[in-house]
């Protein structure tokens, strides 16, 4: 849907509710379409390609210990209700000969937040792209989501949040005597 068609659709929706008679709604269709375009604006494929691009700058590293970045705060939309979701994302990975700039790890959830994924897929996409591009010993992503569609409509649970995680490599299958998953959870709790 182009901007003009979206504007017309929002205008017609507001008109059907008799809200356009109120001067406060005069520019709402334009503001809404601008917000939606600025807020989102990426296809699934663009989320992936921007994340790959962000992860290309790597540095040699002898580190083989856990690196955690977070919480990265991003906002997205629920694909079922077009309500805002506030995410706090923690990314942990164990490098394998290469490290990536820490800010680049924060950009990956920012990229994926620009498409309205369900939280489970949002979390999995972040872990997958880091695993495939960096080829670390392991990656773990933990996401806390506050969904306005649960807070202000439907079940109306203002204190509810949703936690999801995605694990790859040694986080899923730890070597004997190691617990990288527990270490990450303890460090996040400590931080």
Q: How far apart are CA 180 and CA 116, in angstroms?
A: 30
Q: Give the count of alpha carbons within 13 A of 9, CB side only.
A: 8
d(CA 162, CA 86): 10
How do 162-169 and 98-100 pair as beta strands? unpaired
Identify the pLDDT of residue 41: 72
| Residue with tokens 């495939």, as numbered in its chain | 132
Task: Look at residues 7, 13, 4 and name the one whose alpha carbon lies nearest to residue 29.
Answer: 7
Q: Which residue has the tokens 């996401």?
A: 143
Angle at 104 between CA 98 and CA 109, to 5 degrees: 125
pLDDT tens column, 80-105:
988 899 999 999 999 999 999 999 99
Give the pLDDT score at 3. 66
Give the residues of the chain that fall short of pLDDT 70.
1-3, 39-40
Please report the pLDDT score of residue 111 as a whole number: 96
Strand order from edge to edge, sheet including 84-94: 67-77, 84-94, 138-147, 162-169
Which domains are present in the chain? Answer: 3-39 (no CATH), 45-190 (3.30.1130.10)
Q: Measured between alpha carbons, how far is 164 from 90 in angstroms, rounded to an integer?
A: 11
Beta bridge partners of 100: 58
Give the contacts of 51 (CB within 8 A, at least 6 positions apart): 107, 108, 111, 112, 129, 133
Nearest CA to 113 out of 139, 78, 152, 165 is that of 78
Q: What is the pTM of this model?
A: 0.90
**Cis ω on the peptide bond leading into residue 71 (within 30° of 0)?**
yes
The torsion region of residue 103 among left (phi > 0), alpha (psi -120 to 50) and beta comes to: alpha
pLDDT, residue 40, reads: 63
CA atoms within 13 A on the CB side of 171: 26
């Amino acid at each position: 849907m182009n901007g003009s068609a979206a504007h017309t659709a929002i205008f017609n929706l507001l008109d059907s509710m008799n809200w356009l008679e109120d001067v406060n709604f005069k520019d709402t269709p334009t503001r809404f379409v601008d917000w939606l375009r600025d807020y989102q604006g990426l296809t699934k494929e663009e989320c992936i390609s921007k994340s790959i691009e962000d992860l290309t700058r790597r540095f040699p590293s002898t580190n083989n210990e856990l690196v955690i970045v977070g919480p990265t705060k991003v906002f997205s939309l629920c694909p079922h209700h077009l309500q805002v979701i506030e995410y706090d994302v923690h990314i942990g990975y164990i490098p394998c000969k290469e490290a990536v700039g820490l800010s680049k790890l924060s950009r990956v959830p920012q990229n994926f937040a620009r498409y309205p994924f369900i939280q489970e897929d949002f979390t999995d996409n972040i872990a997958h792209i880091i695993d495939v591009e960096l080829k670390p010993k392991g990656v773990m992503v933990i996401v806390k989501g506050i969904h306005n569609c649960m807070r202000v409509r439907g079940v109306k649970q203002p204190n509810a949040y949703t936690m999801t995680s995605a694990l790859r490599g040694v986080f899923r299958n730890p070597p004997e005597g190691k617990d990288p998953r527990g270490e990450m959870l303890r460090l996040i709790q400590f931080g």
